[in-house]
Structure 1
Amino acid sequence: MNERIKTLVILSPGFPENEEDTTCLPPQQVFVRSLKAEYPQLHVIVLSFQYPFAASEYDWYGVKVIAFGGGGRDGFTRRKLWFKVWNTLLRLNHQYQLVGLLSFWLDECAFIAHYFSKFKRIRYRCWMLGQDAKAGNRYVKWIKPEAGELIALSDFMVEEFNRNYGLKPEVVITVGIDTRMFNFAPVTRDIDIIGAGSLIPLKRFGLFIEVVALLKQSYPGIKTAICGSGPEQERLQALIIAKKLENNIRLMGELPHSELLEMMQRSKILFHPSEYEGFGAVFLEALYAGASVVSFVKPMNNEITNWRIVNTLLEAEQAIGSLLGDTGLEFEAVLPFDIRDNVRRMMELFE
C-alpha cells in the first residue's frame, strides 16, 4: 500500500480567492507561501470557512484551498458549515497522513480543529492573531484550551490572554517579513508619515489626523497618507476637511500589498494610532522598508530598533516632530523577525 502523503491542514476564517487577491490577510499569505517554500515536500491544505464567499476548491501557489463559502452567516447555516468542515476533515484524514492541524485565530476554526484533534489524536495548535485574546471570546469557554496548544502573536497577547482568562500561551510566534517582497531600488522619501490599516474605530485614525494638524504648525508642507478602507472613511474625510488638511493627508483606499510596500519605502515614518494590536505586520513592513515606527502599542517586551512607543497625543506629536526635524535621520532596513525563521519554529511544534 502506498504511504499516505504528509499533510498539514490550516483552518482559517478567510483566504485569498486567487493569487491576485493580495489584500486578503497579507501576513497569513506570507506565512503560508513561506511554509510551502521552506517545506516543499509537505502537502499543505487550507480550509477557509467564510471567504471566498463561493464554495470552491483551487490551487494557490501550490497550496490546495477548500473554500466553504460561509459568507459570514450565523445560526443554523453556520452549524451546517461546521458539519461540512468536520466531514471534510474526516475525508482528508483518511486520504492523507495529517501531521497536524493549525487554526488561524481562536474562533470557530479553533473550535472545530480542537475537537477533531481530540477525536483523531492529531497534533493541533491555535495561532492567536489579534482580538481573539480580548475578554468576551465565547470560544475560550467552549474549547477550554490548554496552554500548550496556544500560540500567541506577541508578548502583549500572552499577558492580555492571561489577564482575561487566567492562562498563559506557552509559545510566541510573531508575524515575519519575506524580504523577497521588497524592491530596494533608490527611492525618494516624499511621504513624511504613512498610516496603514482598516478604517475602523479600533484603529483610531482620527488621532492620526489630529497629530498631523498639530505638526502642520511647524511643518506646513507636511505630506502624509492613510492606506486602507473601512466604515470610518467618510468620517475621516470630513475631519480632514474640517481641519483644512486636504493638501496634507491623502486617503489612499485599499492598495495591493506590493503597492503598500512601495509606499512604505517612500515614507519616513509609520504612525499607527491603534488602541489595541496583537502585532500588526505593518510595523515590521515599515521597519524593513527603512521607516521609523511610532505607535501606542508595544507588542514585544524587548526594544526594537527605530520603534518608539508613546502614550498620549502630545507624546506622539513630539516623537514624530523630532524625527522629522532630524536632518541626519537614516533610513536603514530593520529585520526583527524573518518569516523563514517563524515558519521553522512553527513546524517544530508539529515534528
Structure 2
Amino acid sequence: MRPMPDALVILSPGFAASEADTTCLPAQQAFVLALKQECPDLDIIILSFQYPFKRSEYLWNGVKVFAFGGKSRSGLYRLLTWLRVWLRLRKLHRQYSIIGLLSFWLGEAAFVGSHFARLKGLKHYSWLLGQDAKAGNKYARWIKPRGDDLIALSDALRAEYQKNYGIAPAYVIPNGVLPGSFPDTGGERDIDILGVGSLIPLKRYHLFAELIHQLKESQPNIKAVICGDGPEMQNLKNLIERLGLGDNLVLKGELPHPQVLALMQRSRVFMHTSEYEGFSTVCLEALFAGAQVVSFVKAMDAQIPNWHVVGTSAEMLAAVVSILQYGHHDCKPVIPYPIADNAKAIMRLYGYKD
C-alpha cells in the first residue's frame, strides 16, 4: 500500500479567490508561496471559511484551496460552515498524512482546527496576527490555548496577548516579503509620502491628511498618496476638500498588490498612522522598497533600520520633516525578517524536514 502524502492544512477566514486576486490577505499569500518554495514535496491545503463567497475547490499557485463560502453570515449559517469544514477535515485525514494544522488568527478557524486536532492527536498552532490579541476575543475564552499552542506575529502582539489573557505565546514568528514580487520601476522617488491600508477608523487616515496639511505650510508642493478603500473614504474625501489638499493628497482607492509595491518604490516616506497593528506587512514592504517608515507602533523589541517609531502626531510630523528636508537618502532594501526563514521556523514547529 502506498504511503499517504504529507500535508499541512491551513485554516483561514479568507484567502485569494484566484491567482489574480492580489488584494485579499497579501501577507498570507506571500507566506504560503514561501512555504511552498521551502517545502516543495509537502502538500499545502487551505480551508477558507468565509471568502471567497462561493463554495468551490481550486488550485492557487499549485496549492489546493477549499472555499466554503460562508459570506460572514451568523447563526445557523455559520454553524453549517463549521460543519462543512469539519467534514472536509475528516476526509483529508483519510487521504493524507497530516503533519499538523495552522490557523490564521485566533478566531473561528482556530476554534474548529484546535478541536479537530485534539480529537485526532494532531499538532495545531494558532497564529496571532492582529486584533485577535486584544481583550474580549471570545475564541480565546472558548479555546483556552496554552502558550505552546500560540504563535505571535510580533513581540508587541505577544505582550498584548499576555497582558489580556495571562498567557505568553511561546513563539514569535513575523511575516515578511517576497523580493521577487517587486517590479522594476527605475528608481525615481516622485512621491513624498505614501500611506497604504484599509480606510477604517483604526487606521486614522484623518490624521494622515491633517499632517499633510501641516507639511504643506512649509512645503506647498508636497505630494502624498493613500492606497486603500473602506467606509472612511467619503469622510476622507470631504476632509481633503476642506483642508484644500486637492493638489497634494491623492486617494488611489484599492489597487492590485503589484501596483501598490510599485508606488512604494516611488516613495520617500511611508507614513503609517494606525493606532494598533500586529506587525504591518505594508511597513515591511515599504522598507524593502527603499522607503523610510514612520509609525506609532513598535512591533518588535529590536531596532529595525530605516523604521522610525514615534509617540505623538507632533513627533511624527517632526520625523517626516527631518527625512524630507535633511536626507535619509539610503534607499537600499531592508529585509529584517526574510520570509523564507519565517516559513522554515513554522515548519520546525511541526518537526517537518523536506
**TM range, smaller chain:** over 0.9
Secondary structure of 2:218's aligned partner: coil
Offset at residue 185 of structure 1 (A): 4.8
Offset at residue 172 of structure 1 (A): 0.5
1:334 partner amino acid: V
Matched, 1:99 2:96: no
Q: Distance in 2 between matches of 1:130 and 1:307?
A: 19
Partner of 1:252: 252
Matched, 1:310 2:306: no
Q: Distance in 1 between matches of 2:313 and 2:38?
A: 43
Partner of 1:264: 264
Say what the alpha-carbon RMSD is for the aligned residues: 0.8
Report the TM-score, using the length of structure 1 for normalisation. Answer: 0.99
State the identity as a percent: 51
Contact in 1 for aligned 2:292/2:328 (Cα 8 Å): no
Q: Distance in 2 between matches of 1:114 and 1:152?
A: 16
Offset at residue 329 of structure 1 (A): 2.1
Report the TM-score, using the length of structure 2 for normalisation. Answer: 0.98
Partner of 1:225: 225
Partner of 1:289: 289
Secondary structure of 1:109's aligned partner: helix
2:29 partner amino acid: Q
Q: Distance in 1 between matches of 2:132 and 2:148?
A: 17
Offset at residue 331 of structure 1 (A): 1.3
Measured against aligned partners, the alpha-carbon deviations of 1:252-284 in whole angstroms (never above 9, x if no partner) come to 001111000000000000000000000010011
Measured against aligned partners, the alpha-carbon deviations of 1:159-202 in whole angstroms (never above 9, x if no partner) come to 00001000000000101111111234522100000000000000
1:135 partner amino acid: A
Secondary structure of 1:193's aligned partner: strand
1:12-27 aligned within 5 A: 12-27=12-27
Partner of 1:234: 234
Report which stretch shifted further, 5-14 or 331-340.
331-340
Secondary structure of 1:71's aligned partner: coil
1:156-235 aligned within 5 A: 156-235=156-235
Q: Distance in 2 between matches of 1:328 and 1:175?
A: 25
Matched, 1:133 2:133: yes
Q: Distance in 2 between matches of 1:304 and 1:34?
A: 22
Q: Distance in 2 between matches of 1:17 and 1:266?
A: 29
Consecutive unaligned residues in structure 1, runs of 5 or more:
none
Give the number of equivalent residue pairs. 351
Contact in 1 for aligned 2:295/2:309 (Cα 8 Å): yes
Contact in 1 for aligned 2:185/2:265 (Cα 8 Å): no
Q: Distance in 2 between matches of 1:204 and 1:183?
A: 29
Matched, 1:344 2:344: yes
Contact in 1 for aligned 2:269/2:293 (Cα 8 Å): yes
Q: Distance in 2 between matches of 1:26 and 1:177?
A: 9
1:325-340 aligned within 5 A: 325-327=325-327, 329-340=329-340
1:17 partner amino acid: A
Measured against aligned partners, the alpha-carbon deviations of 1:47-91 in whole angstroms (never above 9, x if no partner) come to 000000000000000100000000000011111111111111011
Contact in 1 for aligned 2:6/2:98 (Cα 8 Å): yes
Partner of 1:55: 55
Partner of 2:90: 90
Secondary structure of 1:11's aligned partner: strand
Matched, 1:39 2:39: yes
Q: Distance in 2 between matches of 1:328 and 1:349?
A: 39
Secondary structure of 1:69's aligned partner: coil
Partner of 1:276: 276
